[in-house]
């Protein structure tokens, strides 16, 4: 067993479509480098020769410069989760180049592969005798992003949406029920059972949640998170919505329903592409065009581990500045605004988690 406490840090979506990744991570790097394990979600993959697939019915993400993987490594990242709704945007080269680049920079990856068996394979990292295990699944996006026995892609839990007209008013607002398809949920549970035997701390990463709505959880958000914890997960890391979501305690385990995007530097989309995305995702306004200051808030989840057990969970408040850099906040006016926001959206979602300041961190009770 470890002779000293270890720190695991985790952030949400990483989109580095422009070069000079070191610049965009520079303000957060000193904090990230304090982590023994640092986890982030590779939202857009790293390649310069991808083939656009258009599986999402609009222009795919153009890919991140492969050199930005070095920026991740120098900033402290040593685990990147890859399951998500952009994993197949650039075909085989997008996945292969990303995997090769991460390996060459000594960064573990999980959630994607050249077939479904590789995509479901866990990542295990050992630090001072403590083994950290990671699994990564996408709950969103097109089926075209999924890996199969013969096709590259990501690991997934298939989410089914049912729209119930309860008002007897055709064309009115339906009640939306979302739930996991049983076979894919069972596969995830099986993966966790197998990994549980081979690690001390087990983290499950889900690409999930309703975009742009910090206060609202979909039904499946809790279903898949609870199922993962019931199967043996110690912590749940959620992302995809590009905004913060509430934090939940379930059977003593912490669920970060949405860590927000951490770095989102894109090459931009046309107005028609933004409108198409908004229509497809059910947003009333084009995605990423709404002047909502809360979309600039993000957090770094912090987990202190000793003796193979989680001793303390907290988060570090951050704000994304005008240069698209995540910037660490303190227990001051800006930090307290984010604290109040996290309390508000956690309460609104019906969660009873309590938070308190301890220095410049916010402890989850």
Exposed/middle/buried for 286, CB within 10 Å: 0-12, 13-18, 19+?
Answer: middle
Tens of pLDDT along 344-358?
999 999 999 999 999
Average pLDDT, the chain: 91
3-state SS record for 117-155: HHHCCCEEEEECCEEEEEEEEECCCCHHHECCCCCCEEC
User: What is the pLDDT averaged over residues 253-273?
Assistant: 82
Q: Retrieve residue 294's tokens.
A: 């809360």
Between CA 253 and CA 222 the distance in angstroms is: 13
**pLDDT (0 to 100) of residue 58:** 60
**Domains in the chain, CATH or no CATH each:** 6-364 (3.60.21.10)
Angle at 265 between CA 259 and CA 267, to 5 degrees: 140
Read off the pLDDT band of 56 (50, 70, 90): low
pLDDT tens profile 134-148:
999 999 999 999 999
Of all residues in the chain, the percent with pLDDT exceeding 90 is 83
Asked if residue 155 has pLDDT above 50, the reply is: yes
Can you tell me the distance from the alpha carbon of 316 to that of 223, in angstroms, rounded to the nearest whole number?
A: 27
| pLDDT higher than threshold 90 for residue 104 | yes
254 touches 247 (CB < 8 A): yes
The pLDDT score that the predictor gives to residue 288 is 44
Residues 290-340 have pLDDT tens digits of 445 667 999 999 999 999 999 999 999 999 999 999 999 999 999 999 999
Cβ atoms of 85 and 145 closer than 8 Å:
yes
Q: What is the pLDDT of residue 171?
A: 77
Residue 168 main-chain phi, psi, to 5 deg: 70, 20
Question: For residues 183 and 295, what is the distance between their CA atoms, to the nearest angstrom?
Answer: 35
Beta strand 261-265 with 6-16: parallel, antiparallel or unpaired? parallel
Tokens of residue 175, six digits: 């009640």
């Amino acid at each position: 067993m470890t002779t000293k406490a270890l720190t695991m840090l985790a952030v949400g979506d990483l989109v580095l479509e422009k070069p000079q990744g070191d610049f965009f991570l520079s303000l957060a790097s000193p904090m990230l480098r304090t982590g023994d394990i640092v986890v982030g979600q590779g939202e857009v993959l790293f390649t310069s020769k991808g083939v656009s697939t258009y599986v999402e019915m609009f222009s795919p993400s153009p890919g991140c410069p492969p050199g930005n993987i070095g920026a991740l490594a120098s900033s402290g990242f040593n685990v990147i989760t890859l399951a998500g709704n952009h994993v197949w945007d650039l075909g085989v080269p997008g996945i292969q180049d990303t995997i090769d680049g991460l390996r060459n920079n000594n960064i573990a990856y999980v959630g994607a592969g050249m077939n479904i068996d590789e995509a479901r394979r866990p990542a295990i990292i050992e630090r001072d005798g403590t083994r950290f295990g990671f699994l990564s699944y996408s709950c969103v996006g097109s089926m075209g992003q999924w890996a199969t026995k013969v096709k590259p892609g990501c690991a997934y839990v298939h989410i089914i949406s049912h729209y119930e007209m309860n008002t007897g008013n055709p064309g009115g607002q339906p009640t939306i029920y979302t739930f996991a398809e049983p076979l894919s949920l069972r596969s995830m549970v099986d993966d966790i059972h197998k990994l549980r035997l081979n690690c001390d701390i087990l983290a499950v990463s889900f690409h999930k949640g309703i975009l742009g709505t910090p206060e609202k959880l979909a039904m499946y958000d809790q279903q898949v998170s609870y199922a993962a914890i019931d199967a043996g997960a110690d912590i749940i890391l959620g992302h995809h919505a590009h905004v913060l979501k509430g934090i939940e305690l379930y059977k003593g385990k912490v669920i970060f329903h949405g860590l927000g995007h951490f770095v989102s530097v894109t090459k931009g989309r046309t107005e028609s592409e933004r409108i198409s995305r908004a229509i497809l995702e059910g947003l009333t306004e084009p995605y990423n065009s709404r002047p909502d200051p809360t979309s600039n808030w993000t957090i770094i989840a912090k987990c202190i581990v000793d003796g193979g057990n989680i001793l303390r969970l907290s988060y570090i408040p951050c704000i994304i500045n005008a240069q698209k850099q995540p910037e660490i906040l303190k227990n001051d006016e800006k930090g307290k605004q984010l604290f109040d926001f996290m309390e508000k959206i956690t309460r609104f979602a019906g969660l009873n988690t309590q938070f308190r300041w301890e220095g410049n961190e916010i402890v989850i009770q």
